[in-house]
Structure 1
Amino acid sequence: MQQDNKKDVFAKDNGGFTLCIVGVGLISGSFALSLKDKGFAKHVIGVSKTKASEEKALDLGIIDEALPLEEAIAKSDLIYIAIPVDATVPVSINILNLIDEHHIVADAGGTKHALCKAIEMHPKRARYVATHPMWGTEFSGPEAAVHNGFSGRSCVICEKEKSDTDAVAVVENIYTTLGMNLVYMQAEAHDIHAAYISHISHITSFSLANTVLEKEKEEDAIFQLAGGGFESTVRLAKSSPATWVPIFKQNRENLLDVLNEHITQLRKFKACLEKENYDYLYELIANANKIEKVLNG
């Protein structure tokens, strides 16, 4: 397809484009549903490792057909990758090997440095837009997909300058139309900030859930006494290890840095209780209250 046709394919008033989602789960499924709702995608092709996911996505109307990767790419305009980050790297390279100049490729991975490093010298690197929509739930699979899930959230676009301007413009238009606020970062900076904001939250939730499961042997008591605070804190503990172990592995150094600080903070609370230093405990909690101002801008 020629350069002039490229703009027409992705023009909303042209009837929509063909979307291929690689990985048929929460993020890709929600992306597909939202693009259908907004009139961007006229046809969605799903690529999945499992037949069960493909069939579920077809039943739910998330995808219109399921195909092997190479066939799906040949029929698609935009390829959106939403699979565990350890698989994203080799799959992205494979996809870049298969595309031509009219395709646009984007991903939704929670880490960016390893991916961007792996594809930086690929001759078709410019057709790739590395993104991270900062949204998700503790659920997984196509049945977890929702309409309008991205609205009001932020999306990070990494290494914008290494992507073709038309490819970036299409992806920016899609995310902003879905109601997302765009943030631009280099891949390494993204992973540092993601460790501080997102990844440590998941580790904390996993560890709290394990603490309660280890100490509280009466499951009925957990069910009966768990209030809103506990439920909201351990909500992320229901997230899939298949998603999060690869993220923790790729972002290991940044996570170790923030984990060391987190452990230091926990030790301060422990020391206050051991020494009955409730004045300092008050100071620690009051200082933590400042996060409200940060979150509210």
Structure 2
Amino acid sequence: MNVFIIGVGLIGGSLALDIQKEFTSATVYGIDQNTDHLQKALDLGIIHKKTTNADLINADIVIIAIPVDVSLKVIPEVLDQVSDTCLVLDVGSTKEEICEIIKKHPKRRNFLATHPIAGTEFSGPNAALTGLYKGKTNIICEVEKTAFKLQEKALDIFSKLGMRIRYMDPKSHDKHIAYVSHLSHISSFMLGKTVIEKEKNERDIFDMAGSGFASTVRLAKSSPAMWAPIFQQNKENVIETLEEYIQNLENFKALLEQDNFSAVYAEMENTNHIKQILSGIQEVKLL
């Protein structure tokens, strides 16, 4: 099985490592515009060989793990070049625009739109790690538009990598992911920005930052090259979530100004319900 990974950073590189582990006969090829990343992926054993788009005709599977704005151009080009039996899938964080742009492509049946909900705040080949996807949810959009045999091929890979499958239409995916992922990243970036601007002495940040601050601002270390295009593609949903988030912040601020600390307590107590929601998610992932 010839597996081509376009984009050998955290997401693509981690997929490459897990595929090598579970499919020992697979040969993993890497394609990346960053030649240093490509060489590093080869040196680290993330890929077996470097290659280019010219060899895509030999691919059995192509995994596209690049920023979503670049994917809009690359996915149709890849579909133009692959064989009729090749599975092409992307793993980007937005789905509606990508599904729209390839909906009339002659090889639409070769494409599967997926979004594994996995990652870290790090990027590049050095960030790739085995087991990243075990127990994680993989959202698949418009599965009915993919050839059945290629669906089976993809599901076999996802199953062996330990992923849970959830089916969703692209519009719903982008709306929900704006709340549970995109808003989290914006909040983290802006918290980091606020602290950096206020605390000019970096030593003060280092000395006083506890684990709460570190965990909350962790996502601010994420790659802007990846996240700015995500916010652009999902602009309407992101703005909607921000409006609701800002309103909650304004309401909380008003309670403080009014010395209404019983209401502050009630707000936090009601939000504690998130513990039950998240513990339920963890239990499902452990099954």
| Smaller-chain TM-score bracket | over 0.9
Return the letter of the residue paired with 1:202.
Answer: H
Q: C-alpha separation between the residues in 1 aligned to 2:51 and 2:253?
A: 55
**What does residue range 1-297 of structure 1 map to in structure 2 within 5 Å?**
17-39=1-23, 42-71=26-55, 73-297=56-280
Residues in 2 aligned to 1:214 and 1:274: alpha-carbon distance in whole angstroms: 24
SS in 1 for 2:2: strand
Q: Given that residues 94 and 230 in structure 2 are in contact (C-alpha distance below 8 angstroms), is that contact kept between their aligned partners in structure 1?
A: yes
TM-score by length of 1: 0.93
Contact 1:134 1:153 in 2 (8 A): yes
Which amino acid in the other structure matches residue 34 of structure 1?
D
Number of equivalences: 280
- Runs of 5+ unmatched residues, structure 2: 281-287
- Contact kept? 1:18, 1:41, Cα under 8 Å: no
Q: Is the 8 A contact 1:32 1:41 kept in 2?
A: no
Aligned to 2:105, the other structure's residue is in SS state coil
Structure 1 runs, 4 residues or longer, greater than 2 Å off:
none
Superposed displacement of residue 75, structure 1: 2.5
Instruction: Report the CA distance between 1:296 and its aligned residue.
Output: 2.5
Give the letter aligned to residue 37 of structure 1: K
Percent identity over paired residues = 45
What is the letter of the counterpart of residue 89 of structure 2? A
Q: What amino acid is aligned across from residue 50 of structure 2 in structure 1?
A: A
Give the distance between the partners of 2:45 and 2:229, measured in 1 at CA. 29
Look up the equivalent residue of 2:9 and give its one-letter code.
G
Q: Is the 8 A contact 2:57 2:83 kept in 1?
A: no
Q: Within 2, Cα distance between the matches of 1:41 and 1:86?
A: 33
User: Conserved in 1, the CA contact under 8 Å of 2:59 and 2:82?
Assistant: no
Distance 1:55 1:193 in 2: 37
d(CA) in 2 for partners of 1:224 and 1:75?
54
| SS of corresponding position for 1:157 | strand
1:40 CA displacement: 5.4
Distance in 2 separating the partners of 1:205 and 1:276: 27
Q: Distance in 1 between matches of 2:79 and 2:26?
A: 23
What is the deviation of 1:69? 1.0
Q: Is the Cα contact below 8 Å between 2:116 and 2:137 reproduced in 1?
A: yes
Q: Which position in structure 1 is the counterpart of 2:284? A: none
Deviation at 1:225, TM superposition (A): 1.4
